[in-house]
Copies of this chain bind each other. A is one copy, B any other.
């Protein structure tokens, strides 16, 4: 008998963004597999096996999960945010495609979740309120010139942008390069929001604009939002401004 593989989105922080479907999958799983900080967020359940690994080994982790599922286990691969957005789901299907033909018959269910850009946007107001792009600045798997091309088209199309993976130890200048590129296509007063550690104790926001943003303020736990022409700030006396993108064209 073969088992079942859940690819579960935990949302960006604590359990407040867990869906009912995700809770049920985690309760049913015999094995929980994922990057260590995500596995640590799954409520302990007696008899459940927990396999925590490093962030770099996504494909190995996917293969391990698929092999266990094939052997009859109910497995949950856990991701922060939404597993379908720059997270484990694509790695699982990549492993299926390259793997044993029997894996194509497995019962695989992706459980969507709230992604980091959505939690960040909710805190700021509604900056993703109209057409937007989500772009990963990680050049581990794609060349930097592909990222540059996408940033350029997102800017020329007047999209709001949510930039994931804006910094890494390997390429600390990544976000500075992206800001420099965007300044060639967008006005200096374009809204830039830095959302740091959303939903966690260290949560912090910086509201600024393209010609003033300091790339040094962007770290690995930052989600960067670039506004479109229709993105507006609502000034407030006693609190952080609200930011939203008009449903009309900028």
Contacts and interface: CB of A to CB of B under 8 A. Distances in A.
B16 A129 contact: no
A131 B96 CA distance: 21
A91 interface: yes
Q: Sort chain A's interface into a size bin.
A: 35 or more
B158 A149 contact: yes
B246 A90 contact: yes
A119 B130 contact: no
Contacts of A248: 141-142
- Shortest Cβ-Cβ A-B pairs, 4 listed: A90-B129, A153-B157, A89-B126, A93-B244
Given A83-B122, A89-B244, 19 more contacts: A17-B19, A17-B20, A17-B21, A83-B126, A84-B128, A89-B122, A90-B130, A90-B247, A93-B244, A94-B244, A96-B242, A97-B244, A104-B236, A104-B237, A112-B121, A131-B133, A133-B134, A146-B158, A153-B157
